[in-house]
Amino acid sequence: MPRLSEIIAALDALWPPERAESWDAVGTVAGDPDQEVSRVLFAVDPVQDIVDEAVKLGAGLLVTHHPLYLRGTSTVAADTFKGRVVHTLIKHDIALHVAHTNADVADPGVSDALAGALDLRVVRPLVPDPTDPAGRRGLGRVCELDHPLTVREFAARAAERLPATAQGIRVAGDPEALVRTVAVSGGSGDSLFDDVRAAGVDAFLTADLRHHPASEFVADRAHSATHGTGTGAHNPLALLDAAHWATEWPWCELAAAQLDEISDRHGWGLRVHVSATVTDPWTAHAASTTTSEALGAPN
């Protein structure tokens, strides 16, 4: 049975912590390096439901994408929700390890897993890591579809292939426009609009898009397409907004498979699990009963 320190060394080789953003908080949050581990659980969020699942499973290590403490703390008292998480972990000898922006930029990383779930062919990173001479690491991915789909069809594919959430998939732009190339980025992607514009793709699938950036982005691309000005005479670009959790969850399956393979190679005999618990904070969705067509608005 491997010790925690051996597993962490293998995870750090997959997602070197020094490649995380400077503001990020990755690495081991709790755990005794000398403790032996036989079961590992992967999840997106280090919340109480997930830690309870790790307890039930008898896991010795929980690996999450999101950090527990991003900005530090002065208390782990069990009457705070994060303190309760820490208490539960330590009481049950469960280590917590975080791979966040270091997993985003990895090859393969979070957006490769998202592209894989959507059956897309990855062409290159959307924002290449300048320190990678091979040009394979970086943020987001520029991808191709094997045959063109309308935005509506591509959104339906995303809704079908990504884990189900209350939000589903929101679309901005013309639902009947054709998609041949698409940029994807797991998690919050609206800081990447300039890179998406420069990539000249037909669509961008990500999460957490806000009104003003989305509205300006779609309007700018529609204007460029009509007038042949701006960043290029492409089709108007469509935005697809999925639930943040759903865009990052496919990485858990990828990461679990990577650790499984390492375990086989070393003869560790680890049992590696992926949590299917939906930890997206949005729990219900009510579709409007009045459609835009009924209001007489152009769609």
The token pair that represents 283 in the structure block: 């729990």
Q: How far is the CB of 63 from Zn ion (least distance, A)?
A: 14
187 lines the binding site for Zn ion (CB under 5 A): yes
Of residues 237-256, those binding Zn ion (CB under 5 A)? 248
- Distance set, CA 287 to CA 152, 167, 284 (Å): 17, 10, 10
Alpha carbons 18 and 33: distance in angstroms, whole number = 20
Size of the site for Zn ion (CB under 5 A): 2
Stretch that binds Zn ion, among 19-27, 81-89, 185-193, 252-260 (CB under 5 A): 185-193
Residue 35 or 188: the one with the smaller Cβ distance to Zn ion is 188
SS3 192: helix
Alpha carbons 260 and 155: distance in angstroms, whole number = 32
108 lines the binding site for Zn ion (CB under 5 A): no
CB 133 within 8 A of CB 51: no
- 65 labeled part of a ligand binding site: yes
- 97 labeled part of a ligand binding site: no
Residue 25 or 90: the one with the smaller Cβ distance to Zn ion is 25
Q: Give the residue closest to Zn ion by C-beta.
A: 187
- 260 labeled part of a ligand binding site: no
CB 63 within 8 A of CB 99: yes
Q: How far is the CB of 128 from Zn ion (least distance, A)?
A: 21
Stretch that binds Zn ion, among 21-29, 143-151, 180-188, 283-291 (CB under 5 A): 180-188
Q: How far is the CB of 244 from Zn ion (least distance, A)?
A: 6
Q: How far is the CB of 208 from Zn ion (least distance, A)?
A: 9
Alpha carbons 250 and 232: distance in angstroms, whole number = 33
Q: For 5-118, where are the E strands, in sequence order?
A: 27-30, 39-43, 61-64, 95-98
Residue in 102, 64, 112, 99 with CA at minimum distance from that of residue 254: 112
140 lines the binding site for Zn ion (CB under 5 A): no
Contacts of 120 (CB under 8 A, 6+ apart): 141, 143, 144, 145, 182, 184
Q: How far is the CB of 108 from Zn ion (least distance, A)?
A: 17
Alpha carbons 204 and 114: distance in angstroms, whole number = 12
Of residues 154-173, those binding Zn ion (CB under 5 A)? none
Residue 99 or 169: the one with the smaller Cβ distance to Zn ion is 99
Chain positions contacting Zn ion, by CB under 5 A: 187, 248
User: Which residue ranges are tagged as binding site for a divalent metal cation?
Assistant: 65-66, 104, 244, 248
User: Which residue ranges are tagged as binding site?
Assistant: 65-66, 104, 244, 248
